[in-house]
Chain A
Amino acid sequence: MARKMLKDGEVAVADGGGGESYEYDLFVIGAGSGGVRGSRTSAGFGAKVAICELPFHPISSEWQGGHGGTCVIRGCVPKKILVYGAAFRGEFEDAKNFGWEINGDINYNWKKLLENKTQEIVRLNGVYKRILGNSGVTMIEGAGSVVDAHTVEVTQPDGSKQRHTAKHILIATGSRAHLVDIPGKELAITSDEALSLEELPKRAVILGGGYIAVEFASIWKGLGAEVDLFYRKELPLRGFDDEMRTVVASNLEGRGIRLHPATNLTELSKTADGIKVVTDKGDELMADVVLFATGRTPNTNKLNLEAVGVEVDQIGAIKVDEFSHTSVPSIWAVGDVTNRINLTPVALMEATCFAKTVFGGQPVKPDYRDVPCAVFSIPPLSVVGLSEQEALEEAKNDILVYTSSFNPMKNSISKRQEKSIMKLVVDSETDRVLGAAMCGPDAAEIMQGIAVALKSGATKATFDSTVGIHPSAAEEFVTMRTLTRRVSPASKLKTNL
């Protein structure tokens, strides 16, 4: 592999050159989305790269992880698989009015789904290892920690330790689910365990209003459980557009999930009948499983960062500059461990920018504007750009809001009572579309193309000039001609949803 120039003009020869000699040009701690992308791309620029990762296990711990990281093993992929599985229930219901008769019982074999899911993530774990191997990246199994600015110590499962030196160190250790501290918290599980439960719960209690909580509520409900969802605010999904949050809440309810807004859990205890859950409103209920989806903490406490002077914030996230550079010149960090926007494609973007900056000779910052994302509730929510509230926050001009709430064509036969809703937030002066949102079937797939348009500064006029694809749900995005409301920044309302 041909060696290219490094950022600082040195030829990237690991052993010597600038006086000091290192075993590797880059040592990466953590082979999740960011780490794998960072090491592969760097290797592609000619760097000599090693990466360390913990042994594979579906449930992560200090000693277990696996190539692929959260996304592949404990996040996006297994979650989406369970969402697919759960969504069939609604399909069966809808099928009836289209003439389909399913006589007798419909059974659900959770073990089979779990086996197939595990098989798939094991396969993907293998794919990631192969990709790394093919890119010429040295893989080392064990827990990495930083010894000094250029040295990483890897503790192997058998307890043996070895040290490796590198010109640059990239920390990409991700984050882990964290449990709120209430009596009986040890009875609760996190999303890791929830993706690998031996038995499907009949009664599930979920604490949390974020996307993980909402997704598991949809999954378990779809697979047949009774689900109670508790969250602190009046609506789930804080940070998303308020109007869309309302729609998601009403869809969850419509699909049979019991919502408990503005409610916290205060105590869990074990009984013969299951876990007794007590709320701050004094209510009690019984559950087979209690899921805490109450946030995630960066995996930094075993990295020895303080000793080498890598600064972290109060929740333990590594502080980085716009180029993902930490406070130590030879140490960088990408992905969830930096707690910027915690999404796989963002970690990929950060890692690619890192590799280009350090080994590609082309310093480039990740761009966080108009990052689309999706919540795979059933039906899903997907957004890109600003929410109406954010737009008003930032606005100099009036904001034009276009919304469309419609009955999806499929529901005209199935008679499912569930509207899809779409929204465009437009700057009244520049005509630029500042934000787009959709809640309804296929929202995540639909939003990707909308994101391309938004990212490139598309105006409402550009949307309007695009011909629709008929009949689709997505065509609504290019046929929203009637203004729903005009809001001026002065009139913005403070809410506490």
Chain B
Amino acid sequence: MATATTDLRFSAAATSAKTLDRATVRARRGRFLHHLASRGLHLDHLLPSPFRLRSPFSVCRAAAYAAEGDGEKYEYDLFTIGAGSGGMRASRFASTLYGARAAVCEMPFATVASDALGGVGGTCVLRGCVPKKLLVYASKYSHEFDESHGFGWKYETDPKHDWSTLMTRKNLELQRLVDFQTDMLKNSGVTLIEGRGKIVDPHTVSVDGKLYTARNILIAVGARPSIPDIPGIEHVIDSDAALDLPSRPEKIAIVGGGYIALEFAGIFNGLKSEVHVYIRQKKVLRGFDEEVRDFVTQQMSLRGITFHTEQTPQAITKSDDGLLSLKTNKGTVNGFSHIMFATGRKPNTKNLGLEDVGVKMDKHGSVMVDEYSRTSVDSIWAVGDVTNRVNLTPVALMEGGALTHTIFGNDPIKPDHSAVPSAVFSQPPIGQVGLTEEQATEKYGDVDVYTSNFRPLKATLSGLPDRIYTKLIVCADTNKVLGVHMCGEDAPEIIQGIAIAVKAGLTKQNFDATVGVHPTAAEELVTMRNPTRKVRRNSAGKTNVEALRQK
């Protein structure tokens, strides 16, 4: 800490010293700031326990930033609209690492978001990753109860689930997280303003009528569920509401084939609802590896979820007994207690004043940014879901971190969106990193594909039909592992370490040289010796597939 303060003084002094040329100054400062960033705080994403809180890195802010010049013209160096993952990261880093004067505005907390309600923590903590994962944990138990029989466990009566216990405890945890994150912002020296922010001009934000000026404005307002406008749509729920239902759905229709739909299908199925998933396409999870798409559908069906494919919803009706009917292009199904739409999300860019100040948006309403997250207005930036790049919390964190470095570190860095791993917390879950087989074939032409579809040890005892699917996609030329996909127990946890290897551009030989951890499911990823098929593009650009082995 003492060293850091000294360095900062040096940095500020050096900036004003005429004897040093500008390049030297920039180089020194860059090195120093990089040094700071590498030791900085990072835990403004999920913080389940105060235990993880580390003492904030405080710096002498006036020295650090006033040297930039026009700072005094504005009340803040950075004003952020939206205290979700991206907004919190950026404002905290701006303050703690660069000594910038940072403020963030956020709407009051509510489990269901609206134009006037949100909460510190944003989608991830309040209406996404965290509550979703908590419900996944809760719902997984029914599968574990089933598994336990094969291991000799027996209960006098079948375990029953009490919905209100779960909701109460989940909401207590969410409230704790809101308080915790609020404290963390304050401890970082960020000014938190409650209310809805709107941009008035390139350097002014109005929060419920009160004006704040800032040298830079960051838009980090995220996205919200979007549902199609069809007759009876007022009867349906979205994922916000689905995370906070007053009672367990008896029979639920989930419309959508994306990861949110599949995660909720697993949650409700595990908590003993009858679950029907309606998708417009032939397959779920567009954009994922084709074989994974098939595999997860199969496994979910085996756990009792019914999939209705190639059905487009047309109308919802409510009958006198309160039950809902879903009409699609193929017919009408009655008797749903709930119908949930998980049909995509829309950036929260309405009524933000963006059109008036000239911030450009695409046709979906996402804020358009360059590689440094800068919008079409020089002083306005945007990170996270509102930019609709890769809509994941850790990506918003990366974008937010890179942004502060770019603005305040005098060393522009671009967030790197390659080889970003991701997970679907369906049951069984999916973990993936890098390219799908289809993308790899398209990009590289010649690829070797290693697959394995096996029954894990636990399933041999439980007697359940659980399986695990793994896939490695390797560039035939360079032997680089281009993509890894896995569906089955623990896949998200397993893929994280693999993602380091893929990010580092490691080869199949590196995987083969690694000794397995035995007995695990993950060891399969380092023991896949023979390709299942070799995909080759001939001179005419046609792709041939040579199937070598069926496992």
Contacts and interface: CB of A to CB of B under 8 A. Distances in A.
A490 interface: no
Interface string B20-58: 000000000000000000111111011011011010000
B156 A449 contact: no
B76 to A, nearest CB: 25
B517 A373 contact: yes
Interface string A76-91: 1100110011001001
A367 B512 CA distance: 12
Contacts of B496: 446, 449, 466, 468-469, 472, 474-475, 477-478
B500 A463 contact: yes
Contacts of B492: 469, 472, 474
B13 interface: no
B439 to A, nearest CB: 18
A220 B132 CA distance: 34
A442 interface: yes
B515 interface: yes
Nearest to B500: A453
Interface string A462-480: 1111111111111101110
A374 B394 CA distance: 28
Interface string A401-413: 0001111111111
A467 B394 contact: yes
B157 A103 contact: yes
Interface stretch (A105-113, A174-182, A308-316): A105-113
A451 B39 contact: no
A71 B130 contact: no
B125 to A, nearest CB: 10
B511 interface: yes
Interface stretch (B158-166, B318-326, B378-386): B158-166
B504 interface: yes
B154 A106 contact: yes
A84 B423 CA distance: 24
Interface in B472-487: none
Interface string B169-207: 110010010000000000000000000000000000000
A108 B501 contact: no
A410 B60 CA distance: 39
Interface magnitude class on chain B: 35 or more
Contact of B138 (A88, A413, A450, A482): A413
Interface stretch (A265-273, A299-307, A340-348): A340-348
A143 interface: no
Contacts of B514: 370, 372, 448, 451-452, 455
A88 B153 contact: yes
Contact of A466 (B150, B164, B499): B499
B137 interface: yes
Interface in A96-130: 97-113, 116-117, 120, 123
A220 to B, nearest CB: 14
B506 A456 contact: yes
Q: Is the interface of B mostly helix, strand, loop or mixed?
A: helix
A469 B416 contact: no
Contacts of B520: 374, 444-445, 448
Contacts of B458: 84
Contact of A407 (B51, B124, B130, B498): B51
B51 A405 contact: yes
Given A100-B159, A406-B51, A474 B457 contact: no
Contact of A98 (B130, B137, B153, B513): B137
Contacts of B144: 88, 91, 95
A413 B496 CA distance: 24
Given A452-B511, A481-B41, A97 B457 contact: no
Nearest to A109: B152
Contacts of B157: 102-104
Interface string B119-148: 000001000011001100110010010011
Given A99-B162, A343-B518, A408-B48, A85 B152 contact: yes
Most B C-beta atoms less than 10 A away, residue of A84, A91, A471, A474: A471
Contacts of B522: 444-449
Contacts of A349: 515
Nearest to A344: B518
Given A81-B457, A85-B152, A482-B42, A450 B497 contact: yes
B497 A447 contact: yes
A470 B42 contact: no
Contact of A469 (B166, B398, B499): B499
A483 interface: yes
Most A C-beta atoms less than 10 A away, residue of B40, B156, B495, B516: B516
Contacts of B422: 469
A479 B164 CA distance: 35
Contact of A367 (B151, B156, B164, B513): B513
A458 interface: yes
Nearest to B420: A467
B227 interface: no
A105 B157 CA distance: 8
Interface in B410-443: 416, 419-423, 431
B461 interface: yes
B510 A469 contact: no
Contacts of A81: 151, 457, 461
Interface residues of A, number: 89
B382 to A, nearest CB: 19
Given A88-B148, A465-B416, A105 B156 contact: yes
B239 interface: no
B151 A84 contact: yes
B460 A120 contact: yes
A91 B393 CA distance: 28
B143 to A, nearest CB: 11
Nearest to A460: B38
A99 B162 CA distance: 5
A374 B500 contact: no
A147 interface: no
Nearest to A86: B151
A242 to B, nearest CB: 21
A413 B169 contact: yes
B526 interface: yes
Interface string A348-391: 11000000000000000001001111100000001000000000
B298 to A, nearest CB: 22
A320 to B, nearest CB: 18
A448 B138 contact: no
Contact of A474 (B169, B497, B519): B497
Nearest to A465: B503
B267 to A, nearest CB: 12
A419 interface: yes
A104 B156 contact: yes
Interface string A191-216: 00000000000000000000000000
A463 B164 CA distance: 41
Contacts of A406: 48-49, 51-52
Most A C-beta atoms less than 10 A away, residue of B137, B393, B416, B495: B137
Contacts of A71: 518
B498 A409 contact: no
B392 interface: yes
B393 A452 contact: no
Nearest to B509: A456
Contacts of A409: 46, 48, 130, 133-134, 137
A423 to B, nearest CB: 14
B154 A452 contact: no
B261 interface: no
Given A88-B153, A467-B395, 5 more contacts: A77-B457, A88-B148, A404-B52, A462-B504, A482-B54
16 contacts: A77-B519, A84-B461, A99-B138, A99-B162, A100-B138, A103-B156, A108-B152, A110-B152, A116-B461, A410-B137, A411-B49, A446-B496, A453-B497, A456-B504, A464-B38, A471-B46
Closest 9 CB pairs of A and B: A449-B497, A104-B156, A474-B496, A448-B522, A407-B49, A113-B152, A99-B166, A449-B498, A85-B151
